[in-house]
Chain A
Amino acid sequence: MFDMLQYKFIQHALLASLFGGISCGIVGVWVVMMRIPFVGVAMSHSAFAGAVFGILTGTNPLFMALLFCLASSVLIGPVAKRSQLDPNISIGIIFSLVLGIAFLCLGLIKGPRTEALQLIWGNILLLDRTDILFLIGSCGLVILFLILFFKEIRAVLFQRELARASGIPEKAFFYSLLILTGLSVTFNLNTVGGLLIFSLIINPPSAAYQLTYSLKKMFILSSFFSVTSCLAGLVISYYLNVPTGAVIIITSSLIFLLCLIFSPKRKKVT
């Protein structure tokens, strides 16, 4: 197994698994606890739309992906508030809009669309040094934010209105969580792709949710499951010569299934 470590692209993929896994595991807990799982889909497709727009206009795809992702992060709240809709519906509307933009741009690209189509599936084996540095940076930012504001984050995740009522700047925290989620999604776009990143944000925290009543442990378990899914997907795909992103997602789904079956929360608490 250690023979695979000699390749530079595998070393990059391992680092991406570690740092991308940790950041997805953490932001996933935010998304699951706030009960806005669709935000992962909206963000990943915003990033995808931005990247395709970047390819079409000849601007940096990563920068455009980030811009689109951040724009949808800050739009979700106001759209929900102004239209008096459930946040999940406003997320759905933003999702359909960015999906439309993505396919429009995809249709307008002249010549081969390989680069654009690759964003749908991602390829963790094609990451370069810059991608890894961005992943490390975004992961560091997410961890730092979590450590610095853990008590406020816990209050906001538990009940936003109650957090606001006790003098916590709840709105600022809510949007910070969304923006950091967008950041993590964007920089993980190349690892499992725009279509599959959603699963990496939802499955590990949902699995962790089955196992613990402690939010701290949930963050740790979620990150662990996320990293494990990435690493297992990498190793399995290397030996079986199958798409890495797909194996990562299938692994994370299996972990969720196991956690659900063996969840201590299924037993009655005495």
Chain B
Amino acid sequence: MIRLKDVTVSYVDHIALKSVSLHIKKGDHLAVIGPNGAGKTSLLTAINGLGDVRQGRVMVKGEVINKRNIRKIQRISGYVPQNMNIDPRAPVSVFDVVMMGRIGKIGLFRSPGKKDADIVKSALELCGIEELALRPVGRLSGGERQKVFIARAMAQEPEILLLDEPTTSLDLRAQKEIVSLIDSIYARQKLTVVFVTHILKNIPLTCNTCCLIKDGHIVFFGNRKDALKTERLTELYGCEIALASGLSYV
């Protein structure tokens, strides 16, 4: 489904991802784990075309991403950003934000129809926020806001779901709710999911593959059981890590 070959992503002052190669199969649920600044977000943005790929190739569904097909790829990739600051007075409702996910599918010169409204409603229901539909998005809590962005990505009817640290700056309850939501979406829809996080206890239970990143390099890629090992994680984070019961929480 997604293949990266010798991909380098760089910004003006530093190289974020260095000659990374990776293969994510259709229906995989991959967790990209690593400390801050490891290159996790750059990996995600290389896949959805937001990042500046300086070298190498990114292939999605067998097509090499280029300027001509990038929008087509973006339309099938739902993207959930890190918790964003939104002005509480912003004149945009929850429904409006989720509908924005449909725009790429609807196309230019066309207005959203009943079918689009129904898809938006289903996405709101899927995320359990249908009662918030008419609320201004800036007035929501961090957890509610993240659910709105997940609903927005789902309204796109994506084949790939890319989540960039969706639990960052949320309280414990909201973190658990978001992780459970991702689990339930994956269980129901079997999308290809890439979940980026630096918080080990927030790796979704349905996640079957892990990619450990440090200093722009992939240091491990394999199944969850092998990835979440004390020694490996201690080396990855550069500090002593003790795994609590089970493999998903520390």
Contacts and interface: CB of A to CB of B under 8 A. Distances in A.
Given A151-B106, A152-B103, A154-B92, 13 more contacts: A154-B100, A155-B103, A158-B90, A159-B81, A162-B152, A163-B100, A164-B49, A165-B50, A166-B100, A166-B104, A167-B72, A167-B75, A213-B90
Given A151-B112, A152-B108, A164 B12 contact: no
B96 A215 contact: yes
Interface string A159-188: 101111111110000000000000000000
A213 B91 contact: yes
Q: How many residues of B sit at the interface, in one of the four size bands? A: 35 or more
Contact of A265 (B72, B79, B89, B103): B89
A130 interface: no
Interface in B51-78: 71-72, 74-75, 77
Q: Which 3 A-B pairs have the closest CB atoms?
A: A167-B104, A167-B74, A167-B75
B50 A214 contact: no
Interface residues of A, number: 28
Contacts, number: 80
B248 interface: no
B189 interface: no
A155 B100 contact: yes
B101 interface: yes
Given A148-B109, A154-B92, A213 B136 contact: yes
B139 interface: yes
Interface of B: 12, 48-50, 71-72, 74-75, 77, 79, 81, 84, 88-93, 96-97, 99-101, 103-104, 106, 108-109, 111-112, 135-136, 139, 152, 156
Contacts of A168: 103-104
A166 B84 CA distance: 16
A155 B43 CA distance: 24
